[in-house]
Amino acid sequence: MSRLESMRRRLTAQIDGINWAAETIAPLNGDVLELGLGNGRTYDHLRDRLPNRRIWVIDRILQP
Ligand SMILES: C[S@@+](CC[C@H](N)C(=O)[O-])C[C@H]1O[C@@H](n2cnc3c(N)ncnc32)[C@H](O)[C@@H]1O
């Protein structure tokens, strides 16, 4: 497997995992918490999948 394919596999697993989590919690009430904001890529995806939910994020490093 090439490095490019390995990257695609990692990103696909990340997207599939977030989508699974979003679908699983969709029927439940409450806020969403993301641990590890980073540059906000996964936060942006969460907002897309759960547009009406309040999403809290934390990170040990505050990026500008
Ligand atoms: C690989 S980045 C992922 C960022 C984001 N979720 C994404 O994929 O776009 C992991 C993030 O988790 C944060 N992090 C790691 N350990 C942490 C901890 N114990 N508490 C808070 N944030 C943490 C890091 O600072 C980093 O920004």
What pLDDT score does 37 carry? 95
Distance CA 34, CA 55 (A): 7
Closest ligand 1 atom to 14 CA: 8
pLDDT at position 6 over 80 = yes
Total domains, the chain: 1
Closest ligand 1 atom to 34 CA: 6
Query: Which of 49, 61, 63 for mutating ligand 1's site (highest number of atoms within 8 Å of CB)?
Result: 61
- Whether 29 is covered by a domain: the verdict is yes
Any residues with CB less than 8 A from the CB of 56 and at least 6 apart, and which?
A: 31, 32, 33, 34
- Whether 41 is covered by a domain: the verdict is yes
pLDDT in tens, 8-60: 999 999 999 999 999 999 999 999 999 999 999 999 999 999 999 999 999 99
Query: Which of 10, 60, 62 for mutating ligand 1's site (highest number of atoms within 8 Å of CB)?
Result: 60
Measured by CA distance, the residue closest to atom 8 of ligand 1 is: 42
- Whether 63 is covered by a domain: the verdict is no
- Whether 30 is covered by a domain: the verdict is yes
Residue spans of alpha helices (H) in 1-64: 3-25, 41-49
Range of the domain at 24: 3-58
